[in-house]
Structure 1
Amino acid sequence: MAADNGHLPGILRLTSEIRHRIYQAAGLGRQYWWDNYTSPTIYHLGAASASEALKSDISYGDGPRTFRGLLLSCRTIYSEASALLYSENWFLVRYRSPRSLAALRALTPHALASLTNLRVVLNETSCHDDKLYESSGHCCNRGWVYKGTEADSSAPELHYGCDDCSDNVHDLPLNASSALDGGVISEWRTTAAYLASHIVPGRLELSLICDVDHGDVETAKLVLDGLGMLPRLKNCHLRLCETRDSRLQRLASEAVLKARGFAPAEPQAPSGCSDSRLLSLPLEVRLRILEHTDLITPSREVTWNRTVSDRGYYIVQASNDGRSGHEFCAAQCRGECRFARCWQEKWPEPSLGCFCRRRHTAFSTRCRCWTPPTPLFLVCRKLYEEANLIFYSKNRFIIIDSPRSSPFASRDPGEYPHASFAASQFLKQVAPRQCLGYIRFLELVFSPFNHQNLLRDGHTALQDWKETVQWVKDKLNIPALTLRLVVAGHPNPYVGTPSGGFEMTRAEGKEVLATYNRILHPLQLLSPDTGRGLARFYAKLPWPMKWSHWIHYRLGKDEEAIQGLIDSKELELKEHAELFIMGERYERVSAAAAEPEMSVWWWGRPDEYSGY
């Protein structure tokens, strides 16, 4: 091309800064939203037709059609425009269709050198947020489905089925012993070698998804061999298995650290407690260190519900969008959102997808989700005892007695179906006996009662409850214990009405109040009259008539009067219960400090949990 600017095409006579603005306006760079927000576009490599070598994941504009002509116009413009395209946007390639990574290898060395964000999906057995701008983070439940292969639709293959995906199908876990799966690994290694020769060290952020069989270490190592070929990455996000696996998790974390240029720590032989540097410190210092670990949950609360007891202890994440059934949210997030739902990004930045170590065998610097610090309990007996001290003394313990995961769930009509309360089961069977004295805050939550499901005198659960309180009173540190009794009831009388609640009469409402008293009565064993009264006791009991037709007929449509009557009745129930348990100390304790705020479950989403 001639050096004389008069013979250059018009666009090349402009300054490089002006040409850059033209490329931006054509949609090659990050997209501008209002208030100067920008976000990258996600492009799918490997489109069905050559005319759409790039397939935009966005639903507006013409995408590559706008700037394809620019890329084909001349070498200079291609060099400048493609550098902007590949440096400011994200790229996604899937092996599944057309069962190849050729589209990634088709990128020129110049494009690869400019590349800053790449996501490679070799094999996925569950949803991994294909709609990156609408990331839900949920991993789908699947059944088995048959689907014809691309080569022969008459010979169906068995796949995982999914109602949340457009093609209703997921891959089976990768297994290197399969000839087909061996081809995936071989192609990945070939592609990684090509990438390694052209990407710039420290520039690329890579996301790699390859779900292998649970416990299949050998296949995982073959996948990671390809990752190890690459030069140092700016960042790396890796998922090796849909489910959690401790051995694969160790491989994933070591591989990511190595890919980012951090040498993983050399494994050391286990040492006895006497050789531990931590245990050589004074006890006060050790406990202080343990307070800064995951032994204390983000919300300082731990929940147990025997309906989901297979999950052990779990935490509830406060909702901020009303999806828990309430029209309001927790007054303060308290920063807990930083430790859950790591796949969510602040709009309009797209999500990388779910690399959550709590849900999968995955490792990512983006994931700071709280997980149980199990290794701290396994070092040695001394550290096990100290970890228990911190765990049980520094967290609130919420025990939920409900037919389902939600504390607000209505019970079926009939007698209480269990021979013991969830609280009895927790105190006798779940919490280690030697740790009961560490507990400082215990909250007992019952789902709402009505006249169709009562606890009548002589019920086995009531007798067991009395025996449990008698048995545990000498094992709890009662003078240091705060106890709260809650019967869950939605604060809005028009929402969350228990089954049959609307037909409840005043006489039947008194029977519900009698049930409250039967639950409260054994707790008098913890009153000051015994010589070891509770530090504090709080109650939150819904007035049963709040849901009945009686109150609406009595006060008509005067919602303010209805709510005022409900509030006064529930305050009366609260004061009566607290005075019943605290005795003459009630006024003094009430004046000394405000009641702790309601626990997270009140606003929480019961589907958000992480179990011990």
Structure 2
Amino acid sequence: MHQERICHWLGRRTCTHNRTFLDLPAPIRRRIYDYAGLFSGKSIYVHSLKQHHEDLDGENHNKKIFESDPCDWCDTLHFTFRLLQTCKAVYAEVSAVVYSENVFLVPYRAVDDGLRILGNITPHACNKLTNLFVHLSRVGYCPGNYILDDIKIEPIRKSRVAAWQKAAKHILTYSNPQKLSLYFICNVYPQMRIVPDVLAPFHDFPGSLKDCALRLNYSKDNHSKDDLYYMARQAAIIVSDKPTHLDQPFRFLDLPQDLQQSILKYTDLITPTNEVRWNPQRGFYYKFPREELSAEYYDRRVFQYCADYHFELGCFCMRDHCVYSSRCRCWRPPQALFLVSRAMCESSRAVFYSYNRIIIIPLVGIWKGRSPLLAGLETFIFITKFLKPDTLSYLRYLELVCPPFQTHDPLTSSDPVPYVHWQSIIDSLRTHANLPALTIAVYMTRFEPPIYSIGNDSRQRVTDKAFEEGNFTMDSDQDLTLRPYLDILLPFRSLTRMGRFFEINCRLSEVEMCLEQKVMGSGYDSRALGKADIKLSQWLQAVRSYFRDSH
């Protein structure tokens, strides 16, 4: 490396210094590289020089005000490239930084060239790699072909799969074990036959990766989603299997019962908002709250992106995609915990029903009106048919949602079935539930659409408004006006040892108190028991916010 000495720039004719830049301590040289503009801590797109990187990395170029302005991103890349060509010593230092401190991405727009380049990088570079993203295909192939963002979606060719196998074999052969993290996307559906070939490199190099995330389909809505998930999971675990020194597994079930439950509280048995919905058609299900509606009630971490979301390449969230990732911490249904063993199922049931608010949603939804004769149908099915009797003792908060009903439709009927339903619910709770620890909240309202003729859209608006505000026509006989409510609520009076009972009706606190005292007694005060401090359920927040925003 020949260059003028600094003494010449200082005006000295002769220079007796024999030391060079490489004689500086390594940390000092690294600081000089960084100050000069060494490319580190960024994303490097692997593609052919024929394709300008503005096509792949337009975000950084969009920061330019004028097209003729210099691009700092390009300048940094060019400077790093020149450093690599300086000499062998500088190349060794700089290349170690470039490959170990940057994220390398093979995008779907340049996957063929990117795989070819990966298959030809030096073993030294493979050994230094720490983060690699490969996007083999963008979305699943549609047999009729179609255009998406100016890209023709075609089936994954055998030549591309072969190129991937060659590149993966080269990288994994020379990579440093347990150092490289590989993120791989190949949306194979409906080309299921190529899955074994795509996953072959992961099975051939067990324990070679530090971490691995595999996404085999964008959507989870097809019938093969479970098969694809388990294949991705198996391949990722094999290739990133870490050596263990444990002689035998930890015997979790030997722990005391209360300690088991304390540990299980940190699993997905408890939802992010401590509530779960149920109806006879769907069973248990959970909906993530909208941030603009619920951020004031819940921890903002509920609404953040998945921990394995990457802007440059894509999302590896197991909640939304057919993917396996060890970094995704998003909530998912915890069915597996209930299937381990009977003992584990018992501990899981205790945690699930004790720490979540169980909300019974009507089959018709929360907007469509229905006769109060059917108000207890879903609750009857849940309490007497769906749950085992011994599970009722774990319930701590049960919320019953009744759809809006007509005013002149009391529960009195010649048909005794509705009464039998409510009586069965009450009998089961009285016999098996832990009543002093149980809170029951009942949400119901009624509507009275105007008697004059209106269109369907107007009728829906009137109905929705009445559902939100309650549409009471209070007369001299209050009990008569509240008759449909009393017919539903009065059976709960036999639960004499019930801890708390809440009746919820938007903006009608005096009616709520009246109905609650009809059930619990004249001296009952729900506000003293913390009714105002309890967070609203997600569905009720959404209803209130909808009407607040629409006015």
> Match for residue 133 of structure 2?
119
Task: Map 1:237-276; keep pairs closer than 5 Å.
Answer: 237-242=213-218, 243=220, 245-246=225-226, 248-263=228-243
> Match for residue 500 of structure 2?
536
- CA separation of 1:484/1:415 partners in 2, compared to 1, >3 Å: closer, same or farther? closer
Task: Map 1:378-457; keep pairs closer than 5 Å.
Answer: 378-381=339-342, 383-401=344-362, 403=364, 410-411=367-368, 421-446=377-402, 449=404, 456-457=409-410
Shift, 1:459, TM fit:
8.7
Task: Map 1:155-194; keep pairs closer than 5 Å.
Answer: 158-159=144-145, 166-167=149-150, 180=157, 182-194=158-170
User: Partner amino acid for 1:575?
Assistant: M
Which string of whole-angstrom CA distances, capped at 9 and with x for unpartnered residues, describes residues 12-63 of structure 1? 7997356423443x7x334xxxxxxxxx3x4432258255499425232436
Candidates 86, 89, 104, aligned match of 1:75: 86
TM-score by length of 1: 0.65
| Kept after mapping to 1: 8 A contact 2:277/2:285 | yes
User: Partner amino acid for 1:499?
Assistant: R
Shift, 1:599, TM fit:
4.1
- CA separation of 1:219/1:440 partners in 2, compared to 1, >3 Å: closer, same or farther? same
> Match for residue 40 of structure 2?
29
Percent identity of paired positions between Structure 1 and Structure 2: 26
> Match for residue 526 of structure 1?
492
> Match for residue 334 of structure 2?
373
> Match for residue 223 of structure 1?
198
- CA separation of 1:171/1:426 partners in 2, compared to 1, >3 Å: closer, same or farther? farther
Shift, 1:538, TM fit:
1.1
> Match for residue 524 of structure 2?
586
User: Partner amino acid for 2:396?
Assistant: R
> Match for residue 93 of structure 1?
106
Task: Map 1:464-503; keep pairs closer than 5 Å.
Answer: 465-476=418-429, 477=433, 478-487=435-444, 499-500=461-462
CA RMSD of aligned residues (A): 4.8
| Kept after mapping to 2: 8 A contact 1:481/1:535 | yes
User: Partner amino acid for 1:75?
Assistant: T
Shift, 1:355, TM fit:
1.8
> Match for residue 563 of structure 1?
none
Aligned partners of 1:222, 1:23: CA distance in 2, in Å? 44
- CA separation of 1:80/1:454 partners in 2, compared to 1, >3 Å: closer, same or farther? farther
> What SS does structure 2 have at the residue aligned with 1:391?
helix
Q: Is it true that 1:234 corresponds to 2:195 in the alignment?
A: no
Report how many residues are paired. 489
Which string of whole-angstrom CA distances, capped at 9 and with x for unpartnered residues, describes residues 368-392 of structure 1? 1222332332344454445334432
Shift, 1:456, TM fit:
1.9
> Match for residue 131 of structure 1?
none
Shift, 1:485, TM fit:
1.7
Aligned partners of 1:461, 1:121: CA distance in 2, in Å? 66
Candidates 569, 573, 579, aligned match of 2:511: 573
Structure 1: segments with no counterpart, 5+ residues: 31-39, 127-143, 146-156, 175-179, 269-275, 490-496, 544-569, 607-612
> What SS does structure 2 have at the residue aligned with 1:444?
strand
| Kept after mapping to 2: 8 A contact 1:125/1:170 | yes
> What SS does structure 2 have at the residue aligned with 1:442?
strand
> What SS does structure 1 have at the residue aligned with 2:136?
strand
- CA separation of 1:302/1:94 partners in 2, compared to 1, >3 Å: closer, same or farther? same
Pick the structure with greater CA Rg. Answer: 2
- CA separation of 1:92/1:318 partners in 2, compared to 1, >3 Å: closer, same or farther? same
> Match for residue 553 of structure 1?
none
Q: Is it true that 1:299 corresponds to 2:273 in the alignment?
A: yes
| Kept after mapping to 1: 8 A contact 2:470/2:505 | no
- CA separation of 1:315/1:437 partners in 2, compared to 1, >3 Å: closer, same or farther? same
TM-score by length of 2: 0.71
Shift, 1:482, TM fit:
0.8
Which string of whole-angstrom CA distances, capped at 9 and with x for unpartnered residues, describes residues 121-164 of structure 1? 223436xxxxxxxxxxxxxxxxx96xxxxxxxxxxx52477xxx
Aligned partners of 2:389, 2:146: CA distance in 1, in Å? 44
Q: Whose RCO is larger (CA < 8 A, sep 6+)?
A: 1
- CA separation of 1:319/1:52 partners in 2, compared to 1, >3 Å: closer, same or farther? closer
> Match for residue 597 of structure 1?
534
- CA separation of 1:462/1:48 partners in 2, compared to 1, >3 Å: closer, same or farther? farther
Candidates 29, 38, 57, aligned match of 1:16: 29
Aligned partners of 1:510, 1:462: CA distance in 2, in Å? 28
Which string of whole-angstrom CA distances, capped at 9 and with x for unpartnered residues, describes residues 561-598 of structure 1? xxxxxxxxx221221222122114514x6535555522
> What SS does structure 2 have at the residue aligned with 1:317?
coil
Identify the structure with the greater helix proportion. 2
Which string of whole-angstrom CA distances, capped at 9 and with x for unpartnered residues, describes residues 455-479 of structure 1? 7235989975543221111211244
